[in-house]
């Protein structure tokens, strides 16, 4: 390993696991990310551990499943005793830098009730903040104001279709010029930071907000992908047929607003027309193409400054996006479109040369990201982590006992205006589910609602629940047992590696 290794963690918000050209999507305009994948290893079946941003980012930061860190919604606090990525980096002598956001709420047991951090999300402690894009995004809005834009309200208020006629084939372009978008602003912050740190070791978390909504790209990205060329959504023949699958599915379909993706549009997502879905998808891939452009700028700087050969690069996302699949938008529920995300790992060492440009089919997860970074820096994987390092895959090795399923969790107590428990007739603390996705079957266990089982061999799009089908009862029981095995073996292990002895406190391996 180089004497002074660097870390670049690229987190692209709301990026679906199938949305890159290197993974085969025909609508993706991602040449720079594709070149990044050619330098490293792509993980095709990588999954985030929760949604929306807060739970998933907590898993990235701690290496823990949601059932252990218990950040169940964007507004839920992070327990103060949990050690996070920047804390571990500091212990290794790095000043971890952040461009973007982390969606964190402080522990109310260790902060005063009047602390203004309880009015909005904040950046997790320990980061050296280079550019802060956390809500309410005041730093970016202040900069935009200095560029001559009129800031009259919240960030989302900037994105309104202009009055009058416009081409109905596409959504109207953003009123923000391409050089002034939040994507460009974050990229510039990262480039400035990398220029001044080129002779020192660094650890940079570079987050891009896009292709997160609002789905309104700036020109020329607004016309880059033709809606007529986008893939059709995967969904039942009608929203009613989709809703009939499960009570939770019905609740989401009955309450998910189009404004979750396009805040200027009224109505429910379930009522989106196919032309509107096509326009939304074209806008999504336009926003992603813009991100790709700026990823290319970052990579060019690293290459020109001779930093690539000592930098580990990991690219992933916090969650996916439904994009009209299952008659939904945003990221809610149990469907894989909300949890399947990309992962690319670029290890610059010669030992990884033989695997460059290859794709891994093993199930991997975002809880593996922190262990991977620690492994690269020559440190042991923290005991609290539920994941394992991905670096062996870059050497063509499959670690012994690697997982055979992917796992994610979702707490839906905030659905329907926080009244999901009343709408479903269950307790608020029972508004949760866990998913186990294996090779053939996918199993969804709900705390107080019926389970779901999908035979992915016969039903790859998760349209038919066979949990009560006698022909699949054996599979349902097996998957329920696997779910219990997972939860028992992966329960919080922060202090389970310690014991007393006549010689005092003793640490032992799992």
Q: Which residue segments constitute the domains of the chain, with CATH numbers given?
A: 6-404 (3.40.720.10)
* C-alpha distance across the termini of the chain, in Å: 27
Rounded Cα gap, residues 139 and 294, in angstroms: 20
Rounded Cα gap, residues 100 and 80, in angstroms: 22
Q: What is the pLDDT of residue 510?
A: 46
Strand order in the sheet with 406-411: 406-411, 432-437, 441-446, 452-455
Half-sphere exposure of 449 (CA within 13 A, CB side): 27
Other beta carbons within 10 angstroms of residue 128's beta carbon come to 17
Rounded Cα gap, residues 119 and 354, in angstroms: 50
Q: Of 164, 174, 166, which is closest to residue 215 (Cα–Cα)? A: 174
Half-sphere exposure of 480 (CA within 13 A, CB side): 14
Q: Are 132 and 123 in contact (CB under 8 A)?
A: yes
Q: Are 331 and 321 in contact (CB under 8 A)?
A: yes
Q: What is the pLDDT of residue 384?
A: 95
Strand order in the sheet with 311-316: 128-132, 97-100, 203-208, 6-12, 311-316, 343-346, 41-47, 358-365
343 is catalytic: no
Confidence (pTM): 0.97
Residues in the chain, total:
510
Rounded Cα gap, residues 371 and 244, in angstroms: 41
188: exposed, middle or buried (C-beta count within 10 Å: 0-12, 13-18, 19+)?
A: middle
Return the beta strands (E) in 17-88 as ranges: 41-47
Q: Which residues pair with 12 in a beta bridge?
A: 208
Q: Of 346, 491, 460, which is closest to residue 22 (Cα–Cα)? A: 346
Rounded Cα gap, residues 249 and 52, in angstroms: 17
The 8-class DSSP code of residue 380 comes to P
Dig out the tokens for 27 from the structure: 């609508």
Rounded Cα gap, residues 256 and 250, in angstroms: 10
Q: Provide DSSP, 392-432.
A: HHHTT---TT--SSEEEEEE-TTHHHHTHHHHHTS-GGG-E
Half-sphere exposure of 199 (CA within 13 A, CB side): 1
Rounded Cα gap, residues 296 and 302, in angstroms: 10
Q: Are 24 and 18 in contact (CB under 8 A)?
A: yes
The tens place of each residue's pLDDT in the chain, 510 residues long, gives 447 899 999 999 999 999 999 999 999 999 999 999 999 999 999 999 999 999 999 999 999 999 999 999 999 999 999 999 999 999 999 999 999 999 999 999 999 999 888 888 889 889 999 999 999 999 999 999 999 999 988 999 999 888 776 678 888 899 999 999 999 999 999 999 999 998 999 999 999 999 999 999 999 999 999 999 999 999 999 999 999 999 999 999 999 999 999 989 999 999 999 999 999 999 999 999 999 999 999 999 999 999 999 999 999 999 999 999 999 999 989 999 999 999 999 999 999 999 999 999 999 999 999 999 999 999 999 999 999 999 999 999 999 999 999 999 999 999 999 999 999 999 999 999 999 999 999 999 999 999 999 999 999 999 999 999 999 999 999 999 999 999 999 999 888 888 999 999 988 764
Q: Which of 22, 53, 385, 446 is catalytic?
A: 53
């Amino acid at each position: 390993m180089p004497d002074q290794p660097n870390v670049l963690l690229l987190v692209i918000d709301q990026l679906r696991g199938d949305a890159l050209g290197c993974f085969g999507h025909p609508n993706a305009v991602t040449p720079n990310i594709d070149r990044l994948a050619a330098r490293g290893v792509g993980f095709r079946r990588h999954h985030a551990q929760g949604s929306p941003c807060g739970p998933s980012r907590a898993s990235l930061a701690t290496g823990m499943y949601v059932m252990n860190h218990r950040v169940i919604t964007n507004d839920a606090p992070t327990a103060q005793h949990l050690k996070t990525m920047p804390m571990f980096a500091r212990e290794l002598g790095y000043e971890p830098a952040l461009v973007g956001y982390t969606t964190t709420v402080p522990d109310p047991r260790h902060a005063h009730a009047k602390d203004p951090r309880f009015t909005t999300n904040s950046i997790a402690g320990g980061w050296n903040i280079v550019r802060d894009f956390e809500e309410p995004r005041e730093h970016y809005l202040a900069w935009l104001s200095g560029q001559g834009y009129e800031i009259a309200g919240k960030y989302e208020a900037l994105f309104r279709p202009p009055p009058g006629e416009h081409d109905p084939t596409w959504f109207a372009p953003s009123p923000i010029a391409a050089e002034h978008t939040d994507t460009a602003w974050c990229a510039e912050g990262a480039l400035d930071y990398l220029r001044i740190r080129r002779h020192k070791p660094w650890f940079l978390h570079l987050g891009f907000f896009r292709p997160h909504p609002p789905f309104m790209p700036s020109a020329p990205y607004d016309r880059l992908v033709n809606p007529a060329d986008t893939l059709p959504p995967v969904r039942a023949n009608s929203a009613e047929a989709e809703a009939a699958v499960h009570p939770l599915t019905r609740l989401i379909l009955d309450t998910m607003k189009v404004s979750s993706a396009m805040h200027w549009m009224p109505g429910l997502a379930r009522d989106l027309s196919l032309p509107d879905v096509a326009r939304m998808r074209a806008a999504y891939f336009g926003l992603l193409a813009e991100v790709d452009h700026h990823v290319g700028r970052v990579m060019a700087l690293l290459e020109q400054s001779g930093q690539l050969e000592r930098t580990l690069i990991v690219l992933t996302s916090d969650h996916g996006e439904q994009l009209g699949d299952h008659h939904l938008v945003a990221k809610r529920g149990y469907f894989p479109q909300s949890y399947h995300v990309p992962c690319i790992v670029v290890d610059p060492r010669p030992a990884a040369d033989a695997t460059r440009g290859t794709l891994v089919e093993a199930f991997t997860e975002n809880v593996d990201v922190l262990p991977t970074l620690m492994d690269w820096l020559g440190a042991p994987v923290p005991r609290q982590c539920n994941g394992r390092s991905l670096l062996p895959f870059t050497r063509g090795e499959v670690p012994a006992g690697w997982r055979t399923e992917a796992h994610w969790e979702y707490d839906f107590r905030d659905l329907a205006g926080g009244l999901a428990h009343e709408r479903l007739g269950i307790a608020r603390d029972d508004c949760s589910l866990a998913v186990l996705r294996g090779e053939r079957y996918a199993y969804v266990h709900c705390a107080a609602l019926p389970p779901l089982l999908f035979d992915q061999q016969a039903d790859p799009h998760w349209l038919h629940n066979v949990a009560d089908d006698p022909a699949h009862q054996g599979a349902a029981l097996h998957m329920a047992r696997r779910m219990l095995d997972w939860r028992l073996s992966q329960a919080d292990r922060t202090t389970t590696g310690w014991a007393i002895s006549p010689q005092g406190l003793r640490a032992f391996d799992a």
